[in-house]
Amino acid sequence: MRTPLDRLRDSLLGVWSVGAVVFLFVPIFVIVLFSFNDNQGRFNFTWQGFTLRHWADPFGVEGLQQAFVTSIGLAALTTVIAVILGVCVALALVRHRWRGRGATGGLVFLPLATPEVVLGAALLGWFLTLGFIRGFVTLVIAHVMFTLGYVVITIRARLEGMDVHIEEAAMDLGANQLTTLRKITLPLLAPGIAAASLLSFAISIDDFVVSNFNAGQTVTFPLFVYGASRQGVPPQVNVIATAMLLFVILLMFVNLGFQRRAARRQNRELEPTPALGL
């Protein structure tokens, strides 16, 4: 039975939760708002009127375009390498029994639990010891290292939820392991691969700490913003950040649409299956 006290408690809980979400969005609101700020001079800290001029010229600051392109390329290359390596590791962890499986699972997880400053510093120390020149290549190496674990965990969860009998059925019907992988496992894994790719792309493009240590002369978008923060971050940075957020929201809607369509299709196909006795 709900007493007035219960109702009061529930509404307090609701108010608190909405408050927490508002707290999360306060800086987002400021970022979007100040992308329209008609600022005079270097600083973009006080509101001085509405303008669209930064949106008309998003790369109107020296170095910003280069940094942005570097970040996109870095994130794309990182994602491709990390997803290929990660799918293989996840397959080995879930579908095979071998010695050292537990230890490998632990090693995959450890970078996620290591403070970023330690990841960055350790890798820099190692590159210095080896005499590596730091730049785009060392950034790719570093980014694959810290996104790999996220890929493996995402793919592993998907693989564990998959019905292993479908793969066994394919092999019983004479498909070899490679054909089974190509025609059964990978298509069923596709949503997991998509999720893992999005995750590693998002983590890579936003990385500051590890890049700060290992970039050398290469400038990524977060490094550009950090460098600019000492002399005042130009409003164009807000424009790019807002545009990237809008892009993510768009992707989420597209994904939602796909999921709805897949769910509908599955509902249609599910009805006749009991007749097949599966």
Quick check: 259 binds another protein (CB under 8 A)?
no
Q: How far apart are CA 96 and CA 193, in angstroms?
A: 19
Q: Min. distance of Cβ 93 from another protein in angstroms?
A: 8
Closer to another protein by CB, 92 or 188: give it: 92
Q: Which of 61, 64, 74, 124 binds another protein (CB under 8 A)?
A: 124
Closer to another protein by CB, 60 or 226: give it: 226
Q: Which of residues 71-100 bind another protein (CB under 8 A)?
A: 85-86, 88-89, 91-93, 95-96, 98
Quick check: 125 binds another protein (CB under 8 A)?
yes
Q: Which of 51, 65, 66, 114 binds another protein (CB under 8 A)?
A: 114
192 with 157: CB under 8 angstroms?
yes
Closer to another protein by CB, 37 or 270: give it: 37
Quick check: 36 binds another protein (CB under 8 A)?
no
> Which tokens is 177 given?
């392991």
In the chain, the N- to C-terminal Cα span, in Å, equals 45
Closer to another protein by CB, 3 or 273: give it: 3
Token match 């010695």: residue? 99
211 with 134: CB under 8 angstroms?
no
Quick check: 152 binds another protein (CB under 8 A)?
yes
Closer to another protein by CB, 41 or 174: give it: 174
Q: Which of 52, 69, 190, 245 binds another protein (CB under 8 A)?
A: 245
Q: Which of 4, 24, 50, 131 binds another protein (CB under 8 A)?
A: 24
Q: Which of residues 188-217 bind another protein (CB under 8 A)?
A: 199, 202, 205-206, 208-209, 212-213
Q: Min. distance of Cβ 196 from another protein in angstroms?
A: 10
Residue-by-residue DSSP string for 228-277: HTTT---HHHHHHHHHHHHHHHHHHHHHHHHHHHHHHHHHHHHTTHHHHT
Quick check: 170 binds another protein (CB under 8 A)?
no
Q: Which of 39, 78, 79, 154 binds another protein (CB under 8 A)?
A: 154
